Amino acid sequence: MLTASNGSRRNGGLLRENGDHFRETLLSRGGSEEAMSLFRAFRGRDANIAPLLERRGLD
Protein backbone atom coordinates (compact mmCIF):
# COMPACT_ATOMS: atom_id res chain seq x y z
CA MET A 1 0.00 0.00 0.00
CA LEU A 2 1.26 3.46 -0.83
CA THR A 3 1.44 5.42 2.40
CA ALA A 4 3.53 8.20 3.86
CA SER A 5 5.17 5.67 6.17
CA ASN A 6 6.52 3.43 3.39
CA GLY A 7 8.68 5.86 1.52
CA SER A 8 6.32 8.03 -0.48
CA ARG A 9 7.02 10.78 2.07
CA ARG A 10 10.52 11.09 0.62
CA ASN A 11 8.93 11.65 -2.78
CA GLY A 12 6.46 14.34 -1.80
CA GLY A 13 3.81 12.29 0.02
CA LEU A 14 0.52 11.08 -1.33
CA LEU A 15 0.51 12.90 -4.64
CA ARG A 16 -1.22 11.92 -7.86
CA GLU A 17 2.20 11.38 -9.47
CA ASN A 18 3.21 8.91 -6.75
CA GLY A 19 -0.12 7.08 -7.03
CA ASP A 20 0.26 6.84 -10.80
CA HIS A 21 3.77 5.43 -10.38
CA PHE A 22 2.45 2.88 -7.84
CA ARG A 23 -0.34 1.82 -10.19
CA GLU A 24 1.92 1.59 -13.24
CA THR A 25 4.83 -0.26 -11.63
CA LEU A 26 2.96 -2.56 -9.21
CA LEU A 27 -0.81 -2.78 -9.43
CA SER A 28 -1.17 -2.97 -13.20
CA ARG A 29 1.43 -5.76 -13.44
CA GLY A 30 -0.38 -8.12 -11.07
CA GLY A 31 1.25 -11.54 -10.97
CA SER A 32 2.78 -11.18 -14.43
CA GLU A 33 6.31 -10.66 -13.05
CA GLU A 34 8.29 -11.72 -9.99
CA ALA A 35 7.23 -9.72 -6.93
CA MET A 36 10.78 -8.61 -6.09
CA SER A 37 11.36 -7.21 -9.58
CA LEU A 38 8.09 -5.26 -9.33
CA PHE A 39 9.13 -3.91 -5.93
CA ARG A 40 12.52 -2.93 -7.34
CA ALA A 41 10.84 -1.08 -10.22
CA PHE A 42 8.60 0.77 -7.76
CA ARG A 43 11.12 1.66 -5.04
CA GLY A 44 14.34 1.60 -7.04
CA ARG A 45 16.01 -0.79 -4.57
CA ASP A 46 15.66 -4.25 -3.05
CA ALA A 47 13.30 -4.81 -0.14
CA ASN A 48 14.78 -4.61 3.35
CA ILE A 49 13.01 -6.21 6.29
CA ALA A 50 15.20 -4.56 8.96
CA PRO A 51 12.97 -1.44 9.47
CA LEU A 52 9.90 -3.65 9.98
CA LEU A 53 11.71 -5.78 12.53
CA GLU A 54 12.94 -2.67 14.37
CA ARG A 55 9.44 -1.16 14.48
CA ARG A 56 8.15 -4.39 16.03
CA GLY A 57 10.99 -4.62 18.53
CA LEU A 58 12.46 -7.72 16.90
CA ASP A 59 15.85 -6.34 15.93
SS (H, E, C) 22-45: HHHHCHHHCCCCCHHHHHHHHHCC
What is the number of domains present in the chain? 1
Q: What distance in Å separates the CA atoms of residue 52 and residue 17, rounded to the nearest whole number?
A: 26
User: Mind listing the pLDDT tens digit of every residue in the chain (59 residues)?
Assistant: 444 445 555 677 889 998 999 999 989 998 899 999 998 988 899 999 999 999 999 98
pLDDT of res. 7: 56
Q: Which candidate, 28, 27, 29, 1, places its Cα nearest to that of 14? A: 1
**Domain hosting residue 24, numbered range:** 4-55
pTM check: above 0.85 = no
